[in-house]
């Protein structure tokens, strides 16, 4: 019941993300999409991932999105013309995407299409240990998937270094405050008589 | 069943709101004492009913909706802030098994709630459609986001030592020694970050009306302002409670011997929160305000590297002595 309600809100706000006239509104709807999907993950008892979703996507990424959209001063956009142009291509891509999702569901989860005669499906409940979310993730992440984990860390580090290099400019004109110099300043070497 | 749940929730919410009301009174009284004046002493015995009178005043005042504001978001923002400041209390254990929801990821839940708290501020600033409110909102949001990072590292340090994200287990892990003893620098850092996170002195740029034209809440009046105000103070109480749980052993008594064990556990917890509340107020009374660039450089260039270094130190000490909790 709650899940149904959440998914309805999720779908409606996902539609509003692309159809909202004001870009700031559409970012707010995007935040709502993140939140509702996190809540539905919570209802499916995937607490760790859902809270991480809220923390990372809502708490950090969407805030930066908002900052950028708010600062750029984009006013209300006219969308009707563009919408008709992009509609065929967009719906084609969407269809492919949905088809892939349905096929994956059919293959790996509960088969709901009468396509294949395969009746057996994997009961995923038996596949997982009765451990908490975090322990399961940790066991997988630090054993089987550790190269990917390390690579992800390096990618993030490179991105961070790149951002810092791009924004750092040593100009002599800019005035900097050096706290330690201010603290070390004493009366005897700062007040003197000029003859 | 539903009635019982609602009663449970109310039993926390009402007490938090009363706590907030008397937090404001304590603030005015203590600051009055520090500044050698009396503070409110007219309404009720020694001014004890002053917060209620203030609440009534804000309630009956006229709410002004700016004509260019985005009405829905303008009304939604204070409600969001207020609601988020209350739902954090769900996971706070007031005593042994005295908690509304004893979830396994309590700390992450609190972090997520405080991450959402930024949205109330951004919404308020943007929907007011005023330059001052917008700039103030950006300032406060950037401040909260940057101090959240070092708070996250400090939380991970504590979680490493207790081996659980559950707040009750964190308290129980401190039965031998409170975490403020081995992690004293992190304790101080966490409290300062909590000051910044709740936009409180000496980091209270939203309240700098003289030099910065206040903050995200300039356009708010009456109930909207009151909700922001209540939310802010409830957040301060929440951060005090969190500091007490993480570093001062939550509901645990000072020593587990006779004269200390007479006092009930939840009273110990309340005393610890009260101590932090007084500290919040004294900080406000005696410290000047930080400049914005100083605030940011303190957060990113001092707190973040220090807490990250301490995290690595803790992890390596725990690893090398084989002290890691199961």
Q: What distance in Å separates the CA atoms of residue B224 and residue B14, rounded to the nearest whole number?
A: 19
The distance from CA A56 to its chain's CA centroid, rounded to whole angstroms, is 6
**Do residues A71 and A5 both lie within one domain?**
yes
- Give the residue-averaged pLDDT of B299-321: 91
Q: Which residue of A has its CA nearest to B114?
A: A59
Q: What distance in Å separates the CA atoms of residue B58 and residue B124, rounded to the nearest whole number?
A: 18
**Do residues A71 and A135 both lie within one domain?**
no
CA angle A51, A52, A58 (to 5 degrees): 90
Q: What distance in Å separates the CA atoms of residue B268 and residue B260, rounded to the nearest whole number?
A: 9
Cβ–Cβ below 8 Å for A59 and B165: no
Q: Is the pLDDT of residue B310 over 90?
A: yes
Last residue of a domain, one of A53, A75, A97: A75
Q: Which residues of A touch B145 (CB under 8 A)?
A: 59-60, 63
Residue B250 contacts by C-beta under 8 Å, 6 or more apart in sequence? Answer: B93, B167, B170, B171, B174, B244, B269, B272
Q: What distance in Å separates the CA atoms of residue B105 and residue B92, rounded to the nearest whole number?
A: 12
- By percentage, how much of chain B surpasses pLDDT 90? 20
Q: How far is A89 from chain B (nearest CA, A)?
A: 34
Cβ–Cβ below 8 Å for B116 and A54: yes
Q: What distance in Å separates the CA atoms of residue B51 and residue B40, rounded to the nearest whole number?
A: 10
Please give the C-alpha separations between residue A120 and each of A103, A112, A125, A127, in angstroms, as whole numbers.
16, 12, 14, 15
Q: How far is A48 from chain B (nearest CA, A)?
A: 7
* Structural tokens at position A10: 């999720």
Cβ–Cβ below 8 Å for A66 and B112: no
Structural domain includes residue A150: yes
Interface mutation target, options B122, B162, B300, chain A, most CBs of A under 10 Å = B122
Q: What distance in Å separates the CA atoms of residue B214 and residue B127, rounded to the nearest whole number?
A: 16
Structural domain includes residue B91: yes
Cβ–Cβ under 8 Å, residues B239 and B232: no
Residue found under tokens 């909790």: B325
Give the pLDDT score at A129.
Answer: 57
Structural domain includes residue A21: yes
Report residues of chain A scoring pLDDT below 70.
73-81, 108-131, 170
Give the pLDDT score at A92.
Answer: 92
Structural domain includes residue A101: no
Give the pLDDT score at B139.
Answer: 85
Cβ–Cβ under 8 Å, residues B23 and B233: yes
**Which has more pLDDT, B217 or A123?**
B217
Give the pLDDT score at B98.
Answer: 82
Looking up residue A38, the CATH number of its domain turns out to be 1.20.120.1200
Cβ–Cβ below 8 Å for A52 and B138: no
Residue in B227, B197, B228 with CA at minimum distance from that of residue B215: B228
Q: Which residues of A touch B112 (CB under 8 A)?
A: 51, 54-55, 58-59
Cβ–Cβ below 8 Å for B112 and A51: yes
| pLDDT, mean over chain A | 81
Q: What distance in Å separates the CA atoms of residue A24 and residue A21, rounded to the nearest whole number?
A: 9
Please give the C-alpha separations between residue A77 and each of A81, A114, B44, B306, in angstroms, as whole numbers.
11, 44, 57, 46
Please give the C-alpha separations between residue A58 and each of B119, B141, B241, in angstroms, as whole numbers.
9, 13, 25
Q: Which residues of B touch A133 (CB under 8 A)?
A: 104-105
B18 touches chain A (CB under 8 A): no
Structural domain includes residue B48: no
Cβ–Cβ under 8 Å, residues A90 and A97: no
DSSP B30-56: HHHHHTTS--S-SSSGGGTTHHHHHHH
- By percentage, how much of chain B surpasses pLDDT 70? 98
Q: Which residues of B touch A55 (CB under 8 A)?
A: 108, 111-112, 115
Residue found under tokens 């994997």: A122
| Number of domains, chain A | 2
Q: How far is B318 from chain A (nearest CA, A)?
A: 18
B80 touches chain A (CB under 8 A): no
* Structural tokens at position B113: 């709630």
| Number of domains, chain B | 1
What is the span of the domain harbouring residue B309? 62-320
B145 touches chain A (CB under 8 A): yes
Q: How far apart are the first and last CA of chain B?
A: 36
Interface mutation target, options A26, A50, A59, A61, chain B, most CBs of B under 10 Å = A59
Cβ–Cβ under 8 Å, residues A21 and A77: yes
Residue B139 contacts by C-beta under 8 Å, 6 or more apart in sequence? Answer: B205, B206, B212, B215, B292
Structural domain includes residue A184: no
Q: Which residues of B touch A42 (CB under 8 A)?
A: none
B101 touches chain A (CB under 8 A): no
CA angle A13, A17, A23 (to 5 degrees): 135
Look at phi and psi of residue B66 and say left if phi exceeds 0, alpha if psi is from -120 to 50, else beta. beta
- Entry field: residues in chain B: 326
- Before B202, cis peptide (omega within 30)? yes
pLDDT in tens, A146-180: 899 999 999 999 999 998 888 887 677 777 777 78
Structural domain includes residue B300: yes
Q: What distance in Å separates the CA atoms of residue B105 and residue A20, rounded to the nearest whole number?
A: 35
Interface mutation target, options B2, B88, B105, chain A, most CBs of A under 10 Å = B105
**Do residues A7 and A69 both lie within one domain?**
yes
**Do residues A70 and A140 both lie within one domain?**
no
Q: Which residue of B has its CA nearest to A131?
A: B104
Q: How far is A59 from chain B (nearest CA, A)?
A: 5
What is the span of the domain harbouring residue A53? 1-75
Cβ–Cβ below 8 Å for A28 and B165: no
- Give the residue-averaged pLDDT of B57-74: 84
Give the pLDDT score at B142.
Answer: 85
* Structural tokens at position B291: 């400049």
Helices (H), B88-183: 106-127, 131-162, 167-172
Q: How far is A126 from chain B (nearest CA, A)?
A: 22
**Do residues A71 and A133 both lie within one domain?**
no
Longest dimension (CA), chain A: 102
Residue in B86, B203, B100, B190 with CA at minimum distance from that of residue B143: B203
pLDDT in tens, B23-37: 999 999 999 999 999
Q: How many CB pairs under 8 A join A and B?
A: 57
Q: Which residues of B touch A132 (CB under 8 A)?
A: 104
Q: What distance in Å separates the CA atoms of residue B224 and residue B120, rounded to the nearest whole number?
A: 12
Q: In this structure, what is the dihedral angle of CA atoms B149, B155, B161, B162, given to the nearest 10 degrees?
A: -150
Interface of A with B (CB under 8 A): 24, 28, 31, 35, 47-48, 51-52, 54-55, 58-60, 63, 66-67, 70, 132-134, 177
Residue A151, helix vs strand vs coil: helix
> Complex ipTM above 0.90?
no
Residue found under tokens 């499916």: A44
Q: What distance in Å separates the CA atoms of residue A102 and residue A113, rounded to the nearest whole number?
A: 9
Give the side-chain half-sphere CA count within 13 A for B194. Answer: 27
Q: Point out the residue among A31, A55, A133 whose CB comes nearest to the CB of B112.
A: A55
Q: What distance in Å separates the CA atoms of residue B300 and residue B307, rounded to the nearest whole number?
A: 11
- Give the residue-averaged pLDDT of B240-256: 86
Q: Which residue of A has its CA nearest to B138?
A: A67
Give the pLDDT score at A121.
Answer: 58
Q: Which residues of B touch A134 (CB under 8 A)?
A: 104-105, 165
Asked whether the whole model's pTM tops 0.95, one would answer no
Give the pLDDT score at A115.
Answer: 55
Sign of the C-alpha dihedral, residues B189, B190, B196, B201? negative
pLDDT in tens, B172-183: 888 888 888 888
Q: How far is B128 from chain A (nearest CA, A)?
A: 13
């Amino acid at each position: 019941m709650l899940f149904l309600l959440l998914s309805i809100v999720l779908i409606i706000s996902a539609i509003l993300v692309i159809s909202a006239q004001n870009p700031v509104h559409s970012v707010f709807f995007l935040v709502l999409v993140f939140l509702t999907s996190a809540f539905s993950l919570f209802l499916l008892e995937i607490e760790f991932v859902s809270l991480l979703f809220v923390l990372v996507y809502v708490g950090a990424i969407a805030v930066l999105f908002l900052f950028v959209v708010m600062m750029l001063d984009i006013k209300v956009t006219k969308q009707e013309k563009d919408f008709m142009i992009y509609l065929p291509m967009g719906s084609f891509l969407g269809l492919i995407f949905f088809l892939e999702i349905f096929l994956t569901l059919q293959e790996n989860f509960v088969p709901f299409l009468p396509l294949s005669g395969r009746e057996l499906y994997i009961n995923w409940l038996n596949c997982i240990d009765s451990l908490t979310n975090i322990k399961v993730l940790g066991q997988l992440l630090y054993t089987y998937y550790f190269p990917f984990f390390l690579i992800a860390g390096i990618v993030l580090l490179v991105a961070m270094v790149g951002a810092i290099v791009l924004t750092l400019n040593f100009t002599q004109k800019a005035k900097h405050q050096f706290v330690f110099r201010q603290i070390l300043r004493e009366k005897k070497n700062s007040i003197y008589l000029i003859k | 069943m539903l009635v019982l749940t609602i009663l449970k929730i109310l039993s926390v919410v009402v007490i938090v709101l009363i706590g907030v009301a008397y937090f404001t009174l304590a603030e005015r009284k203590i600051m009055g004492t520090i500044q050698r004046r009396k503070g409110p002493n007219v309404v009720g015995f020694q001014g004890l009913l002053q917060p209620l009178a203030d609440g009534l005043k804000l309630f009956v005042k006229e709410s002004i909706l700016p004509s260019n504001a985005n009405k829905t978001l303008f009304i939604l923002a204070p409600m969001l802030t207020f609601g988020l400041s209350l739902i954090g209390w769900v996971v706070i254990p007031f005593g042994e098994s005295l908690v509304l929801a004893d979830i396994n990821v309590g700390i992450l839940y609190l972090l997520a709630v405080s991450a959402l708290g930024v949205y109330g501020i951004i919404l308020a600033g943007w929907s007011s459609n005023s330059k001052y409110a917008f700039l103030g909102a950006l300032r406060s949001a950037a401040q909260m986001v940057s101090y959240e990072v070092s708070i996250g590292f400090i939380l991970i340090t504590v979680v490493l030592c207790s081996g659980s994200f559950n707040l009750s287990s964190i308290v129980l892990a401190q039965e031998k020694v409170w975490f403020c003893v081995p992690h004293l620098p992190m304790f101080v850092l966490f409290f300062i970050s909590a000051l910044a996170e709740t936009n409180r002195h000496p980091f209270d740029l939203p309240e700098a009306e003289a030099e910065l034209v206040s903050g995200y809440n300039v356009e708010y009046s009456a109930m909207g302002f009151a909700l922001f105000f209540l939310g802010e103070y409830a957040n301060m109480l929440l951060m005090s409670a969190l500091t007490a749980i993480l570093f001062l052993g939550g509901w645990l008594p000072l020593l587990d011997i006779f004269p200390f064990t007479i006092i009930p556990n939840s009273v110990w917890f309340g005393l610890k929160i009260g101590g932090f509340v007084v500290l919040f107020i004294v900080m406000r009374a005696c410290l000047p305000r930080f400049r914005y660039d100083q605030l940011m450089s303190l957060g990113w260039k001092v707190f973040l590297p220090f807490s990250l270094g301490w995290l690595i130190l803790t992890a390596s000490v725990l690893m090398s002595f084989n002290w890691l909790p199961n």
